[in-house]
Structure 1
Amino acid sequence: MRYLTAGESHGPQLTLIVEGLPSQLPLSKEKVDDQLRRRQKGYGRGRRMQIESDEAQILSGVRFGKTTGAPVALAIENKDWKKWTDIMSVYPDDEKATKRRVSRPRPGHADLNGAIKYNHRDMRDVLERSSARETAARTAAGAVGRQLLEYCGIRVAGHVVRIGSVSTRRLEGWSLEEIVERSEQSPVRCLDSDAEKKMIQHIDEAKAEGDSLGGVVEVIVENVPVGLGSHVHWDRKLDARLAQAIVSINAFKGVEIGIGFEAGERKGSQVHDPILWSEEKGYHRASNRLGGFEGGMTTGEPIVLRGVMKPIPTLYKPLQSVDIDTKEPFAASIERSDNCAVPAACVVAENVVAWEVARSLLETFPADTAEDLLQGVNRRREEARNF
């Protein structure tokens, strides 16, 4: 299973093609739209979210609410496109081509590197595609994968554990349902009400200073069967693929799985998870410090991982840059932006994780139909219990 996205931030639409879904999988447009709406929420978002109201149009591969086995094509309209039709035209026009030209690269963005790589004298050709607007299409892909997981009884949730210098208390004993409910109620997707208030204040202070904030998000996946991923090749380790998926999200710079970097501070007896067996649960772990993975494969415990997002580099108090035409120093260009997108990025992270787990599920249990997939997953669960 794979997907491709196309589209620019101010182009007419984002396009997504998903290939490899089994047939007869219930696929709801409303559930895709729900994830797109969740991505647009969050304290600290900018004016673009007041313009867009993302909704997916399913163009192929689904009939009467179920997949056919053919590629699924989706489109997400950019409502801001009508103001950019001249600037983003696909037709040759030397006069229009000079409008809104970007010659001053913004530190922290792909502008200068991409312009050098692809020989663009107008860096708008870089920033339009490197924009985080593309994460709407990736969220839609994850929403498709998420429905495949739901069909197999696998659930995904996420929440924010840090914004800037404000972090949550480590909260134990929350069910997945409680995490979903509380994070959806919070404007910063935080489970800790005390930390939530401090995060909102922190965002307001940064905005007043023309600055931005990053943070840390956590994603949990429950009821995953044993043995997704593989130990036999480096590129089949699922934890490694999840780490790559998280870091591929705009502005994400690092990943922890389970207790993550804390494992480097502890002794081995305080890191690894003792193996238990009972009639009720079969094989299970006494703890989940390794975040649901051993040897690149799922253990059957919940997948738990965290991603760190750097502050958004578009600042209303811009850093110094250099004009590529004159080579003179200038303050970097300002493009419309959020000053904190961590709550929204949490939703993107949930969905890229959902996609990778769904892809691994189909690799482990190849199936032409959704029912065949479910039978394979349930068979593995039974085998693991009786092994």
Structure 2
Amino acid sequence: MIRYFTAGESHGPALSAIVEGLPAGVALVEADINDQLARRQQGYGRGGRMKIETDRAEVLSGVRFGKTIGSPIALVIRNRDWENWTTPMAQFEDHATEVQKITIPRPGHADLTGVIKYGFDDIRPVIDRSSARETAARVAAGSLAKAFLRQLGIQIGSYISTIGPAAESATPASLQALLDAGAESLAAEADKSQVRMLDPEAETAAIAAIDQAKADGDTLGGIVEIYITGVPMGLGSYVQHDRRLDSALAAAIMSIQAIKGVEIGPAFDNARKPGSQVHDELFAGGEKGLRRETNRAGGIEGSMSSGQPIHIRAAMKPISSLVSPLRSFDLATLEAVQSRFERSDTCAVPAAGVVAEAVVAPVIANALLEKIGGDHMAEIKERLEAYREALRMRFGG
């Protein structure tokens, strides 16, 4: 089973990740990992931190001659901004008397609940670990799982359909062709846009909305569309709650900072329709083989992959740090005050799509390994092709 852990603070020396369970023989290219990190840093509406950091991952273990060797992979991403934080974030030297404590929590952030839970009298430790800066480590870790899946014909991509009041008016005309080419083609097309949108009119409206929010000292959220193509039928299971594929994918997406809603396919729209307009009819035989003509289930039926593209929609709330502050109070005095501002973005929805791609990759990889097993790539490829061939022999195509 692939699992990973991250460590590090936003203004500490570095972020790190340990990835365990990746099979041996997965071909890795260092530039590919760093390309994913660069994608995460892009997007209209990002803040000043992106001008400081140029994220690059150092691989410290688990890779030899460009291929995984089956042992844990250690990744480190240095924080260039650390040199400005050596005193307030010192690890062993005590500078408590030199550093002003942060005692005003920001509404909507982890600040208040974090200091209460861990018994701090300074919010700084909460800010630095709860920060979405942590997702750089997850993008690096997820890029390894994406590489594993890519070599098995499974691709993951995303685009943005909504930012604040700006939303695409209909499903982009180019979407199906991009999915037919593989979800990474979708991601590449989205990356051409400053806000990762496929609809030019929606892109223009989104940029204007971000500019207005910045002028108002406000922030914007949005909706991310994630697609996974090439997934074979039958990943996941209905027999136990913790083996349900949609449950695992939703949990992974909800683990991303500021994500507050998830649906598989057009789930909320489906909830307003009769079943006859929702469920995907089934066909078999002929050159097309086993198929569905629609995909309102979002690629998952009975908590298992249906063989169609998996479609996940994620709602991201506006960022909690506002230049124009909301009301709060001082933890030290309980006096009512205006909330404080921590350097942040106006809009990070485009980056959330890249993070979402990364966090769903280990979920799909684990579901695949549970289905077919294997410890090295040659073995896994052989088993997956045998499984796909068995489906073709039974249903055509």
On whether the aligned pair clears a TM of 0.5, the verdict is yes
Shift of 1:327: 0.4
Task: Describe the superposition over 1:86-120 as per-residue Cα deviations: whole angstroms up to 9, x where unpaired.
Answer: 11111141x44651421111111101101111101
Asked if 1:141 corresponds to 2:137, the answer is no
Aligned counterparts, 1:299-378, within 5 A: 299-378=306-385
Amino acid aligned to 2:230: N
Structure 2 residue runs of 5 or longer lacking an equivalent are: none
2:228 corresponds to which of 196, 221, 224: 221
| Helix, strand or coil at the partner of 1:175 | helix
User: Are residue 102 (structure 1) and residue 102 (structure 2) matched?
Assistant: yes
The equivalent of 1:165 in structure 2 is 165
1:174 aligns with 2:181: no
RMSD: 1.2
Query: 1:60-139 to 2 correspondence within 5 Å?
Result: 60-93=61-94, 95-96=95-96, 98-139=98-139
1:244 maps to what in 2?
A: 251
* % same residue: 50
Determine if contact 2:245/2:303 at 8 Å carries over to the other structure: yes
Q: Does 1:381 align with 2:391?
A: no
In the superposition, relative to structure 1, how do residues 67 and 117 fare at CA in structure 2: closer, same or farther (>3 Å)? same
What TM-score results when the alignment is normalised by the length of structure 2? 0.95
2:234 maps to a residue whose letter is G
Aligned-partner residue type, residue 163 of structure 1: I
Alpha-carbon separation, structure 2, partners of 1:202 and 1:311: 13
What CA distance in whole angstroms lies between the structure 1 residues aligned with 2:234 and 2:358?
21
1:183 to 180, 185, 190: 190
- CA deviation after TM superposition for structure 1 residue 281, in Å: 3.1
Aligned partner letter, 1:307: A
CA distance in 2, matches of 1:215, 1:245: 18
CA contact (8 A) 2:6 2:15 kept: yes
* Contact 2:3 2:362 survives alignment (8 Å): no
C-alpha distance in structure 2 between counterparts of 1:47 and 1:352, whole Å? 25
CA contact (8 A) 1:226 1:380 kept: no
Task: Give the TM-score of the pair, scaled to structure 1.
Answer: 0.97
> How far apart are 1:180 and its partner, in Å?
2.9
Q: Given the alignment of the two structures, is residue 198 of structure 1 paired with residue 199 of structure 2, yes or no?
A: no
Query: Does the aligned pair in 2 maintain the 1:282–1:386 contact within 8 Å?
Result: no
Equivalent-residue separation in structure 2 for 1:167 and 1:20 (angstroms): 39
C-alpha deviations, 1:253-279, integer Å up to 9, x for none? Answer: 001111110111111111111111133
- Equivalent residue of 2:160, what SS? strand
- Alpha-carbon contact 1:86-1:96 (below 8 Å) kept: no
CA positional deviation for 1:61: 0.2
CA distance in 1, matches of 2:68, 2:100: 42
The 3-state SS of whatever aligns with 2:74 is strand
Give the aligned partner of residue 41 of structure 1.
Answer: 42
Q: 1:193-226: per-residue Cα shift (whole Å, max 9, x none)?
A: 0110010000000100000000001011111011
- Alpha-carbon distance between aligned partners in 1 of 2:373 and 2:91, rounded to the nearest angstrom: 41
Distance 2:171 2:147 in 1: 30
In structure 2, what is the equivalent of residue 151 of structure 1?
Answer: 151
Q: Do the aligned residues in 1 keep the contact of 2:156 with 2:226 (CA within 8 Å)?
A: yes
- Report the secondary structure of 1:221's partner residue: strand
Residues 1:10 and 2:11 are matched in the alignment: yes
SS of equivalent to 1:210: coil
Q: CA deviation at 1:58?
A: 0.3
For residue 296 of structure 1, the aligned residue among 287, 296, 303 is: 303
Distance 1:111 1:218 in 2: 29
The superposition leaves residues 2-49 of structure 1 with CA deviations (integer Å, 9 ceiling, x where unpaired) of: 000000000000010000011111112111111000000000000000
Judge conservation of contact 1:230–1:296 (CA < 8 Å) in 2.
Answer: yes
How far has the Cα of 1:376 moved from its partner? 1.8
Residues 78, 180 of structure 1: CA spacing in aligned structure 2 closer, same or farther, 3 A cutoff? Answer: same
Number of aligned residues: 386
**AA partner of residue 248 (structure 2):** R
- 1:261 counterpart (257, 261, 268): 268
